[in-house]
Amino acid sequence: MEYRHIYFIGIGGIGMSAIARYYNAKGYKVSGYDKTPSPLTLALEEEGIDVHYEDNIAYVPQDIESTLVVYTPAIPKDMGELVHVQEKGYRVIKRSKMLGEISRGQRCMAVAGTHGKTTTSTLVSHLFMASGEGCSAFLGGISKNYNSNLLISGNDVVVAEADEFDRSFLQLFPEIAVITSMDADHLDIYGDEAHIVEAFKTFASQVSGTVIARHGLDITSKDTAAKVMTYSFGDSEADFWAEPLERGHFNLHWPGGVIEDCVVGIPGWVNVENATAAAAIALTYGLEPAAVKEALASFAGVKRRFDMQVKTEKCIYIDDYAHHPREISAALSSIRESYPDMKMTAVFQPHLYTRTRDFAPEFAQALSAADKLILLDIYPAREEPIPGVTSEIIFNDVTAPEKVLLKRAELMDYLKDEPVELLVTLGAGDIDRFVEQIGEMLKERHE
């Protein structure tokens, strides 16, 4: 690449910040804009990256020829800096294209799916790192083993989270890929479920070696020239499958035999399923079964994915990024299975007006699995309000024994007086800003 300066518009995003860190580590001058300070942007600043928080073209590098501009589709099209660089003739590309350029010519291990991809791709990268093989990895969350969303290694293996939003994953051409799910989501982009499935099939067609699809997904040899294999939690018809044992342990069956008595370092059946997918990539690549087993046990998880904040005899608090009905259902059932005798209180912040509108009945059904639901107002992200679309269209159909509707600003005061045994916070908006406060409050209460 002939550019000296790489400028990121939306640098604080989880995917954007990983790429910014990558080029900063490679010696490029890196800077960028984000709307608000966050733990991620502060970490970038500590690493020597200039970040500003006002839409001001004065911060954009002046040298057009030597500057590459990278932006995220989450940025509004009329944002001043973005309009400026487009009009002035800078080379401007989306984050997904940048990731595609990085991975081209390397051995790409990709994880796609409407849910499960962040934990699974972080697991894959941990299997490669802990086994000594190594990899570079661009993750959609902060790995708790490495405290980063970026790993850099000297070999040519790149682990990438293949994001279906805005069809980003079609910039990737992996050697081995997992597909965890193809549920309806991002209907503001795809229109309907058929077009989502079509995009995943196109992604599968771009894989050169092996596609490993969750058992039951409609991915066949008609869709790709790659070898098609399957994985499953509990279904022996799959090529890779986890046979559940007691206390979260499992036997991992694969075409090369059985890896007995495996355990993942974080609880929940959903993480055994994710581990099976990650192990399928690692074993297909050629990592040793013993190394895979050892690495699974030392996996510490991902921040905001089944993320244990408080664990005492009287109180458990888990934070999770789940923001789609299927994800919420999987998270709550995994948590319920792990702690069957505790009263579960779930706090959920819906993400996007369109997603709330498109899946209100499914959200209500999934959230009804809690003993008590605390439902917050919608986090709009990039969207303008839609008339008639509020959290109430979910709330009205929730059948949990107890439920309450709150504004975001009311949450902490409400929780101060709320006796909780098993608390779960869910959502992809800014609910994560409360996690530390809630954790500290519960620890003080149960000391």
Single residue among 242, 276, 297 that ends a domain in this structure? 297
Greatest extent of the chain over all pairs of C-alpha atoms, in Å: 63
> Do both 238 and 328 map to the same domain?
no
- Range of the structural domain that residue 44 is part of: 5-95
Domain CATH code at residue 36: 3.40.50.720
Q: Is residue 331 part of a domain?
A: yes
Q: What is the pLDDT along the chain (447 residues), one digit of tens a residue?
A: 589 999 999 999 999 999 999 999 999 999 999 999 988 999 999 999 999 999 999 999 999 999 999 999 889 899 999 999 999 999 999 999 999 999 999 999 999 998 899 999 999 999 999 999 999 999 999 999 999 999 999 999 999 999 887 788 999 999 999 999 998 666 667 768 888 899 999 999 999 999 999 999 999 999 999 999 999 999 999 999 999 999 899 999 999 999 999 999 998 889 999 999 999 999 999 999 999 999 999 999 999 888 999 999 899 999 999 999 999 998 999 899 889 999 999 999 999 999 999 999 999 999 999 999 999 999 998 789 999 999 999 999 999 999 999 999 999 999 998 999 999 999 999 999 999 999 999 998 877
Closest to 379 in 3D by CA, of 414, 400, 355, 361: 355
> Do both 397 and 367 map to the same domain?
yes
Domain CATH code at residue 372: 3.90.190.20
Q: Is residue 18 part of a domain?
A: yes
> Do both 265 and 121 map to the same domain?
yes
Q: Is residue 275 part of a domain?
A: yes
> Do both 147 and 88 map to the same domain?
no
Q: Is residue 221 part of a domain?
A: yes
Single residue among 248, 279, 297 that ends a domain in this structure? 297
HSE of 206 in the Cβ direction (CA atoms, 13 Å)?
21
pTM reported for the whole predicted model: 0.86
> Do both 110 and 185 map to the same domain?
yes
Cβ count within 10 A of residue 155:
12
pLDDT at residue 389 in the model:
97
Q: What are phi and psi of 418, to 5 degrees?
A: -100, 115
pLDDT at residue 300 in the model:
96
Q: Is residue 28 part of a domain?
A: yes
> Do both 253 and 336 map to the same domain?
no
343, two tokens: 């009263």
- Give the number of domains in the chain: 3
> Do both 116 and 169 map to the same domain?
yes
Single residue among 26, 60, 95 that ends a domain in this structure? 95
> Do both 205 and 327 map to the same domain?
no
129, two tokens: 């790192």
| Residues 287, 133 contacting (CB under 8 angstroms) | yes
Q: Is residue 423 part of a domain?
A: yes
Q: For tokens 């860190």, name the residue.
A: 21
Domain CATH code at residue 205: 3.40.1190.10
Cα 225 to chain centroid, rounded:
28
Amino acid at 406: L
Q: Is residue 374 part of a domain?
A: yes
> Do both 109 and 66 map to the same domain?
no
HSE of 138 in the Cβ direction (CA atoms, 13 Å)?
30
Q: What are phi and psi of 431, to 5 degrees?
A: -60, -20
> Do both 360 and 406 map to the same domain?
yes
Q: For tokens 């294999």, name the residue.
A: 229
Task: Please tell me the distance from the alpha carbon of residue 259 to that of residue 327, in angstroms, as a whole number.
Answer: 28
> Do both 195 and 88 map to the same domain?
no
> Do both 120 and 76 map to the same domain?
no
Q: Is residue 302 part of a domain?
A: no
